[in-house]
Structure 1
Amino acid sequence: MATVVVLGTLDTKGNEHNFVNEIIRNKGCDVVLIDIGVLGQPQIRPEISRKEVARAGGVEIEELVQKNDRGYAMEVMAVGATEIVRQLHKDGNLDGILALGGSGGASIATHAMQALPIGVPKLMVSTVASGDTRPYVGESDITMMYSVVDIAGINSISEKILFNAGTAIAEMAIASSTFVPRKHSRPLVSITMFGVTTPCVLQASKWLESKGYEIVVFSANGVGGRAMETLMRDGFIKASLDVTTTELADELVGGELSAGQERLEMAGRLGIPQVVSLGALDMVNFGPADTLPAHFHGRKIYKHNPNVTLMRTTEEECNQLGKIMAHKLNQAKGPVSVFIPLKGFSAIAKKGDVFYHPQADRALIDSLKESLEPHIDLVVMDTDINDPAFAEAMAKKLHELFSNNKKVGVLNYE
């Protein structure tokens, strides 16, 4: 029998959880109800109490009640719920997870959901699901369902929505508990892509697939970079072709697509073979043009579409990016090869294009060369990043590193 774990603030939403739990049970699943409320007494009895959750978070529930600090309580309960959920899954007592709540409950519940492996069914029903869900979903595979009305009573609208939610998680849990994955003998290779590096990625993917690799492409949009490195951490990815490292520019300059300070470190930390290039480091990403921060006015920008505005990186920023990349790659425990395209880092940075800026490109290249340790392989080619020869050279190098798991000498095609 499949087991669904349900997280809820039972001091305020106990009746709603009781309703959805019955739907899940009627579908043939067991339910483990976890109380993540703090202040009031639970309206229904859970399998795992708020006292147990708080203790798993390192604090007694009485202290949380006495402190009466909502923010602090949410942090503690999020940590506690995460520890309990992890253990339930480890013990084989979690085939799917569901939560109902507003912004507070969603913050606690999705924190716990994000700790579960990719592929475990996760459903969050909340009023926040129609807004910016990035803080709740992160790089996980959480499904967000908009509750339309607040989760405050069973009425003619909420009844149907909660019925759908309970049915959905039950069916997903049942399917997940009986799922038998296909045997994948091909090594999984991650590749990062942007629209302005797509030709390169497609060509490299085609070559690697012809050699028997399975390819997973990640959009270099912040969440994509984090998702890729999470899958590296979880042991899925065996080699990395990091064509598009643009997220580093957003982290440095303050764009909207940063993947965090640790981007470009996971593969090296784990010793995963990696080939890295400078894709789209000529740009920083923002939303609509009228949202561009005032201190960037006067910079070279390009309206990619009505919702995306690109800003050209400067010589100074490129100089810093070279040092940042080198610092991260120098610490890698596995084989690394860095590919530099001399004639442009993206489709809009070649000679005659809107982001053509050879001085800035050279600042990045020189900084990277000067900062890389001698043991890091360096390949310099007199092409732009989307040249088929450049793409195929990177793919061949990755195949070589993965196959031999040893470093090779510096190549220079300048």
Structure 2
Amino acid sequence: MPIPPTVAVIGTCDTKFEALIFLKRAVQSTAVCNAILIDIGSYDAPDLRDIDIPRSDVLREHATTVCSTPSRKKGQEIMTIALTQLLARLHSTQSIAGVIGAGGSGNTSVCTRAFRDALPIGFPKLMVSTMASGNVSHYVGESDITMMYSVVDVAGMNTILEVVLGNAADAISGMAKRSLIRADLKSSRPAIAVSTFGLTTPCVQMATQKLEELGYSVIAFHATGAGGLAMERLIREGHFVGVLDITTTELADELVGGVLTAGPRRLEAAASYGIPQVVSVGALDMVNFGPADTIPKQFQGRLFHYHNSSVTLMRTSREECSKLGQIMVEKLKGAPTNKTRVILPLRGLSGIDKDTGPFRDADADGALLHALRSGLQCPVDEFDVDINDPSFALMIAEALHELLRAEVQ
């Protein structure tokens, strides 16, 4: 008989012991998985018999000396680092096939940070949390953590919590078992990452079709902030042979203060790791905000386009476009010039920046293009079409294919 996969149940046993023991036994009762309990509490638990890895053993993973009475903030930072190192080790030795945490805001913060940093995308991760019915973006980040709202406090046991934790145990057990039999994230065909957005979709669709005809597996990332973060992470983890970064709009949100920023390291992974990439300027004509009444007051008087009831777009100015070009130049400075090409559309950066479009601003676009032309060290090609013209899509797909063929020769 094959050995059942093991799920790590993680929480603060000094305050949530009863619930965590219930969760551990619920995983074991599925007859699908084994379970181990990891204690990340601030103090020793009242009963150590059912704890497989006590807090003292977790803290030994931390490389520095641990103060006996750290502040709550410092204590959580130390425990987060220690748990991250422990989970990374357990994953590398294939000792666990899934993780599940349960608790309140403190435990959720420690667990989800460790899940993101220690475990790859695709590895089963579930967090039962009192915080899971609100904005969980700072817990999930660019990872694939599953959040489950506990409905009631994770303290003591009652009929509602039993049902919620029972469902969570069934869910993580099924995910862990499935993870052992499914294929990993890598396709039999070489994989390419592509960045996409609603207003660059025609370009992305045609480029994707062409690349698939050439024998690649194309994985698209929606440039919503989290999408860019996930793409950069998976590039660093080695999942792609090439990158077609058509839609770099998240750089504008990071610069100006929009809601879809992918953080300060967007457009850096492929350059740092020497992965062939073709880069363009898709949707850099816009900054993303939510509903119109949520736009910060400092942007009053700017040009807006109401994409839908939830999304309001603001046209980037000439100054902002010039700065975006400089940012791209700086980010691509370290990229191998023989593995990097920038391809520019001269007649519009998005579906609403083409001729007669509401965001058409040749002066602002010109400032972006000038900054790129004058600063880039890698080859730069220009085409007198808008970004969604079929000829542009085919050109950028062929350009990446040429870089990849040169890579294997």
TM-score of the alignment, normalized to the shorter chain, above 0.5: yes
Task: Quote the offset at 1:39 in angstroms.
Answer: 3.8
**What whole-Å deviation, never above 9, does each CA across 1:147-168 have from its counterpart, x for those lacking one?**
1111122111111111111111
Tell me if 1:402 matches 2:407: no
Structure 2 stretches of 5 or more lacking a match? none
Mean Cα deviation higher: 257-266 or 50-59: 50-59
Task: Quote the offset at 1:182 in angstroms.
Answer: 9.3
Task: Quote the offset at 1:59 in angstroms.
Answer: 5.0
Task: Quote the offset at 1:15 in angstroms.
Answer: 0.4
**What whole-Å deviation, never above 9, does each CA across 1:82-106 have from its counterpart, x for those lacking one?**
0000000111101010000111101
Q: What is the identity percentage for the equivalent residue pairs of Structure 1 and Structure 2?
A: 49
Q: For the Cα contact (< 8 Å) 2:192–2:218, is it kept in 1?
A: yes
**What whole-Å deviation, never above 9, does each CA across 1:355-378 have from its counterpart, x for those lacking one?**
1111100000001111112xx111
User: How is 1:126-137 mapped onto 2 (pairs within 5 angstroms)?
Assistant: 126-137=129-140
Structure 1 stretches of 5 or more lacking a match? 408-414
Tell me if 1:350 matches 2:391: no
Structure 2 distance, partners of 1:94, 1:398, is: 38
Alignment CA distance shift 1:292-1:180 (3 Å): closer
Task: Quote the offset at 1:239 in angstroms.
Answer: 0.5
Q: TM-score, normalised by structure 2?
A: 0.95
Tell me if 1:175 matches 2:175: no
Q: For the Cα contact (< 8 Å) 2:285–2:350, is it kept in 1?
A: yes
Structure 2 distance, partners of 1:237, 1:147, is: 37
Structure 1 distance, partners of 2:146, 2:216, is: 29
What RMSD in Å do the two structures reach over aligned CA positions? 1.7
Tell me if 1:147 matches 2:150: yes
Mean Cα deviation higher: 151-160 or 27-36: 27-36
Task: Quote the offset at 1:312 in angstroms.
Answer: 0.8
Tell me if 1:206 matches 2:209: yes
Give the residue type in structure 2 aligned to 1:402: L
Match of 1:20 among 15, 23, 27: 23
Aligned residue number for residue 37 of structure 1: 41
Tell me if 1:238 matches 2:241: yes
User: How is 1:4-403 mapped onto 2 (pairs within 5 angstroms)?
Assistant: 4-28=7-31, 29-39=33-43, 41-45=45-49, 46-58=51-63, 63-64=67-68, 66-67=69-70, 69-114=71-116, 115-181=118-184, 184-333=187-336, 335-373=339-377, 376-403=378-405
Alignment CA distance shift 1:182-1:138 (3 Å): closer
Task: Quote the offset at 1:300 in angstroms.
Answer: 1.0
Give the residue type in structure 1 aligned to 2:95: N
Give the residue type in structure 1 aligned to 2:299: F
Mean Cα deviation higher: 78-87 or 162-171: 162-171
Give the residue type in structure 2 aligned to 1:127: T
Query: 3-state DSSP class of the match of 1:129?
Result: coil
Structure 1 distance, partners of 2:64, 2:103, is: 23
Structure 2 distance, partners of 1:287, 1:218, is: 20
Structure 2 distance, partners of 1:110, 1:136, is: 6
Query: 3-state DSSP class of the match of 1:130?
Result: coil
**What whole-Å deviation, never above 9, does each CA across 1:105-153 have from its counterpart, x for those lacking one?**
0110111111201111111011211111111111111111111111122
Q: For the Cα contact (< 8 Å) 2:122–2:185, is it kept in 1?
A: no
Give the residue type in structure 2 aligned to 1:52: D
Runs of 4+ in 1 over 6 A off after TM superposition: none
Mean Cα deviation higher: 273-282 or 179-188: 179-188
Q: How many residues align?
A: 402
Give the residue type in structure 2 aligned to 1:85: L
Task: Quote the offset at 1:36 in angstroms.
Answer: 0.8
Structure 2 distance, partners of 1:344, 1:178, is: 47
Alignment CA distance shift 1:36-1:181 (3 Å): closer
Task: Quote the offset at 1:44 in angstroms.
Answer: 4.7
Task: Quote the offset at 1:179 in angstroms.
Answer: 3.1
Alignment CA distance shift 1:204-1:42 (3 Å): farther
Structure 1 distance, partners of 2:46, 2:318, is: 59
Structure 1 distance, partners of 2:265, 2:186, is: 32
**What whole-Å deviation, never above 9, does each CA across 1:44-94 have from its counterpart, x for those lacking one?**
542112122233234555x25x23x21111111111100000000111101
Query: 3-state DSSP class of the match of 2:342?
Result: strand
Task: Quote the offset at 1:256 in angstroms.
Answer: 1.1
Mean Cα deviation higher: 254-263 or 273-282: 254-263
Task: Quote the offset at 1:42 in angstroms.
Answer: 4.4
Structure 2 distance, partners of 1:356, 1:253, is: 19
Query: 3-state DSSP class of the match of 1:216?
Result: strand
Alignment CA distance shift 1:182-1:132 (3 Å): closer
**What whole-Å deviation, never above 9, does each CA across 1:156-206 have from its counterpart, x for those lacking one?**
111111111111111221222233459833110111000000000000001
Query: 3-state DSSP class of the match of 2:60?
Result: helix
